[in-house]
């Protein structure tokens, strides 16, 4: 979120308003006060953090105000205050949609704690909305992450997508190469046409040529009818060739000709069919090295490598792990129709202490298991003992500390005062840790 969420406090008693405002501001919250429900409604927006309202007020009472406030934003936490409360009124308030119910007079810490919990919930709601907006804007092609490498990658994708340049995407297994290819297609002028994907490593060699170029009826044994190949099928759209390093050498020269001439000749046909395609190829190995070792055609490598987009492995963008995991958790919770579990410091520690050899794909699977509660005592994220390279104790401690700080900053929208109080550390110590870990509070506002 771009700013600290504010609290709207409504009470027709001036002294109660003043006392409540002082209590909440001492606890680090931003508070706006008003003396009537009508005035409060003018302050409410979808970015408001919480509404605290007295029940009995002249004109619009607390229940009427809550009803109108929830009509503006059904997820707004509403805390009801009354000096005349009883069990039936509390039950009525909760059933009507109140987040909590506090009876006057109340200790200052009760109000502050209630608001703190309400804002934590509100933050999750706002984060879910932000993620949904990103997904709506990018569909399933939204690329999640805040690290400089991912920001640069998004910038390159946005710039290259506007052109028809062929692109080579390089990254380890599970880093999201097809996601990048789809993002290029979605942001291009070809978005209303087909995105055709072919995994070169999964295609039997004897079917490769027919699958790519198509064939005429009778062109070979078993070719009972004419078939349009993937290249022609992708006309005016994008052709994605995954694991292109697995393409047989004999076919590579034919793909090179397609890239140069933008035309295809189906098997058994003498007709050259022009095609308007953008080719995105993906590989998990260095094609330059493969060409030097004569495992990949050098001329095809240079023809494909007009623009290269390198996707960093997850272990090189650890700062994105909590954000990505939360994103996958919320998607899994929606898919399985259940509440997303809370992301605790212990879970963050486990996420950051693992090397993630399967990259984002493995992280997504871990999020699904986390939502479904399929972990065990040894590892609640996996369901089986972790394998792979682990970090040293010092590296784990540093990553855990950094994750906790970033998580608290995220919960408090980058508010340093609130974060320091939540962590229980001196302000100077907190700033020392920010410098050591390279954390910038403004990034969380």
Question: Above 80 in pLDDT, residue 322?
Answer: yes
Q: Which two tokens stand for residue 177?
A: 């190469």
How crowded is residue 184: how many other Cβ atoms within 10 Å of its Cβ?
A: 29
Size of the chain in residues: 445
Which tokens belong to 256? 């090179």
Specify the higher pLDDT residue, 3 or 270: 270
Cα 63 to Cα 80: distance, rounded to the nearest angstrom: 9
Cα-flanking dihedrals φ and ψ of residue 50, to 5°? Answer: -165, 155
Query: Residue 401: pLDDT band by 50, 70, 90 thresholds?
Result: confident
Average pLDDT, the chain: 84
CA distance 303 to 40: 63
How far apart (Å, rounded) are the C-alpha atoms in residues 357 and 385? 14
Q: What mean pLDDT is predicted for residues 123-144?
A: 67
Mean pLDDT of 89-118: 85
pLDDT at 390 over 90: no
User: Who has greater pLDDT, 133 or 438?
Assistant: 438
Note the pLDDT of residue 382: 53
Which residues make beta-bridge pairs with 228? Answer: 214
- Residue 389: its pLDDT value, please? 46
Choice between 73 and 263, residue whose per-residue pLDDT is larger: 263
pLDDT of residue 125: 75
Identify the band that residue 140 occupies on the pLDDT scale cut at 50, 70 and 90. Answer: low
Is pLDDT above 70 for 6? Answer: yes
Alpha-helical segments (H) within 248-344: 249-261, 287-292, 298-304, 321-336
Q: Which ranges of 49-107 does DSSP label H, i.e. alpha helix?
A: 62-72, 87-95
Distance between CA atoms of 219 and 229, rounded to whole angstroms? 14
pLDDT, one tens digit per residue, over 141-196 is 678 888 889 999 999 999 999 999 999 999 999 999 999 999 999 999 999 999 99
Q: Would you say the C-alpha torsion 112, 115, 116, 117 has a positive or negative sign?
A: positive
Residue 371 CA from chain centroid, whole number: 16
In this prediction, residue 349 carries a pLDDT of 79
Mention every residue, 6+ apart, whose C-beta is less than 8 A from residue 161.
Answer: 183, 184, 185, 186, 187, 188
Q: Please give the radius of gyration of the chain, using alpha carbons only, rounded to the nearest integer.
A: 28
Window from 69-83, 155-169, 334-348 with minimum mean pLDDT: 334-348
Return the pLDDT at 339: 82
Q: Rounded to 10 degrees, what is the CA torsion of 246, 252, 258, 260?
A: 120
Q: What is the pLDDT of residue 141?
A: 66
Residue linked to tokens 């970015």? 47
Give the separation between CA 241 and CA 281, rounded to whole angstroms. 5
Written as six digits, the tokens of 300 are 């095809």
- What residue has token string 């619009």? 60
Phi, psi dihedrals of residue 54, rounded to the nearest 5°: -70, 150
**For residue 298, what pLDDT is reported?**
94
pLDDT given at position 218:
72
Query: Roughly how many angstroms between the first and final C-alpha of the chain, as a whole number?
Result: 5
Under 8 Å CB-to-CB from 197, ≥6 apart: which residues?
A: 178, 181, 240, 242
Q: Which domains does the chain have, with CATH numbers?
A: 6-136 (3.40.50.2300), 148-311 (3.40.50.300), 315-444 (no CATH)
What pLDDT score does 396 carry?
Answer: 66
At 3 the pLDDT is 43
pLDDT digits (tens, 9 = 90+) for 187-239: 999 999 999 999 998 888 778 888 898 888 877 776 768 888 899 999 999 99
Give one DSSP letter per residue of 170-239, joined into a string.
E--TTS-HHHHHHHHHHTSTTTTS-EEEEEGGGS-HHHHHHHHHEE-TTSSTT--S-EE-HHHHTTTSEE
- Residue of 367, 436, 373, 378 whose CA lies nearest to 405: 436
pLDDT digits (tens, 9 = 90+) for 236-264: 999 999 999 999 888 899 999 999 999 99
pLDDT-based confidence at residue 378 (cuts at 50, 70, 90): very low
pLDDT of residue 375: 60
Q: Does position 270 have pLDDT exceeding 90, yes or no?
A: no
User: Is the per-residue pLDDT at 127 higher than 60?
Assistant: yes
Tell me how far apart the alpha carbons of residues 406 and 414 are, in angstroms, rounded to a whole number: 9
Residue 272 CB contacts under 8 Å (≥ 6 apart), including other chains: 263, 264, 265
pLDDT at 387: 43
As a whole number, mean pLDDT of residues 406-416 equals 77
């Amino acid at each position: 979120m771009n700013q600290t969420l504010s609290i709207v406090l409504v009470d027709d008693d001036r002294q109660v308003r003043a006392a409540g405002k002082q209590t909440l501001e001492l606890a680090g919250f931003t508070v706006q006060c008003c003396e009537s429900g009508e005035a409060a409604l003018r302050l409410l927006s979808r970015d408001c953090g919480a509404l605290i309202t007295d029940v009995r007020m002249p004109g619009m009472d607390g229940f009427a105000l809550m009803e109108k406030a929830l009509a503006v934003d059904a997820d707004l936490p509403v805390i009801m205050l009354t000096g005349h409360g009883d069990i039936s009124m509390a039950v009525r308030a909760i059933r009507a949609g109140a987040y909590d119910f506090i009876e006057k007079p109340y200790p200052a810490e009760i109000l502050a704690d209630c608001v703190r919990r309400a804002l934590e919930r509100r933050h999750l709601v706002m984060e879910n909305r932000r993620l949904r907006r990103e997904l709506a804007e990018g569909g399933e092609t939204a690329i999640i992450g805040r690290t400089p490498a991912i920001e640069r990658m998004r910038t390159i994708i946005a710039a290259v997508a506007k052109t028809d340049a062929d692109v080579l995407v390089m990254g380890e297994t599970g880093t999201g190469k097809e996601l990048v290819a789809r993002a290029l297609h979605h942001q291009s002028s070809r978005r209303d046409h087909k995105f055709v994907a072919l995994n070169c490593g999964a295609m039997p060699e004897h079917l490769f040529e027919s699958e790519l170029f198509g064939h005429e009826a009778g062109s070979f044994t078993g070719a009972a009818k004419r078939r349009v190949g993937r290249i022609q099928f992708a006309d005016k759209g994008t052709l994605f060739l995954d694991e292109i390093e697995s393409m047989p050498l004999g076919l590579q020269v034919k793909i090179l000709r397609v890239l140069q001439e933008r035309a295809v000749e189906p098997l058994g046909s003498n007709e050259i069919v022009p095609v308007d395609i953008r080719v995105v190829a993906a590989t998990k190995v260095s094609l330059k090295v493969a060409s030097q070792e004569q495992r990949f055609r050098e001329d095809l490598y240079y023809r494909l490598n007009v623009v290269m987009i390198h996707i960093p492995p997850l272990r090189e963008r650890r700062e994105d792990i909590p954000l990505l995991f939360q994103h996958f958790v919320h998607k899994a919770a929606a898919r399985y129709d259940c509440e997303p579990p809370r992301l605790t410091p212990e879970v963050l520690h486990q996420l950051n202490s693992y090397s993630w050899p399967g990259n984002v794909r493995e992280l997504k699977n871990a999020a699904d298991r986390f939502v479904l509660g399929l972990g065990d005592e040894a590892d609640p994220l996996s369901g089986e003992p972790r394998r792979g390279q682990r970090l040293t104790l010092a590296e784990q401690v540093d990553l855990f500390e950094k994750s906790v700080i970033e998580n608290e900053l995220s919960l408090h929208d980058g508010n340093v005062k609130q974060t320091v109080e939540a962590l229980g550390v001196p302000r100077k110590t907190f700033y020392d840790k920010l410098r050591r870990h390279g954390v910038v509070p403004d990034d969380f506002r």
